[in-house]
């Protein structure tokens, strides 16, 4: 990874729809050399894909929370069952297996507080693997680099 590839990645992370011509100009390469580098980064899996940045409020998502979840059993089967349940839950936009006092950190996005209460009670609260739930409600996001 050289400095030019790092600049390409920086520019693409800011704007994944930038034209190759504009990208080449921003990083100081010819368009053909820039395209070859981008294609090589894609081929090597450094660039795994491109995403649209969504306006959550326009989609009706007005409530976000980070939720830690502790499991009652630390077996592989228990973890796999929990992860399958989170993959089926559309409210869960991120699920991370973490180290520390609990096993999982979730990012949950729903319309409002009653919708979150329903998820908390009817989804998390019904899973036999779940032993502890702690919710951290997002009040604002002064820096948010997620796509």
Mean pLDDT, residues 32-40: 98
Instruction: Tell me what pLDDT residue 50 has.
Output: 92
The mean pLDDT of the chain is 95
What does the pLDDT look like over 68-110, one tens digit per residue? 999 999 999 999 999 999 999 999 999 999 999 999 999 999 9
Instruction: Report the candidate in 88, 79, 76 with the shortest Cα–Cα distance to residue 122.
Output: 88
Domains, the chain, in order of start with CATH, read 3-43 (1.10.10.10), 57-137 (3.30.70.920)
| SS3 state at 91 | coil
Give CA–CA dist 133/120, Å, rounded: 9
């Amino acid at each position: 990874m050289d400095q030019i590839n790092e600049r390409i990645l920086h520019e693409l992370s800011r704007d994944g729809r930038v034209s190759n011509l504009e990208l080449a100009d921003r990083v100081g390469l010819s368009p053909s050399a820039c395209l070859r580098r981008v294609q090589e980064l894609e081929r090597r899996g450094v660039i795994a894909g491109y995403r649209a940045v969504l306006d959550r409020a326009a989609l009706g998502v007005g409530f976000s929370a980070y939720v830690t979840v502790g499991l009652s059993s630390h077996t592989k089967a228990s973890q796999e069952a929990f992860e399958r349940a989170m993959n089926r839950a559309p409210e869960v936009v991120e699920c991370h297996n973490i180290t520390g006092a609990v096993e999982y950190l979730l990012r949950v996005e729903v319309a409002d507080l009653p919708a979150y209460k329903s998820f908390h009670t009817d989804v998390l609260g019904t899973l036999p693997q779940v032993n502890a739930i702690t919710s951290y409600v997002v009040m604002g996001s002064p820096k948010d680099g997620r796509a």
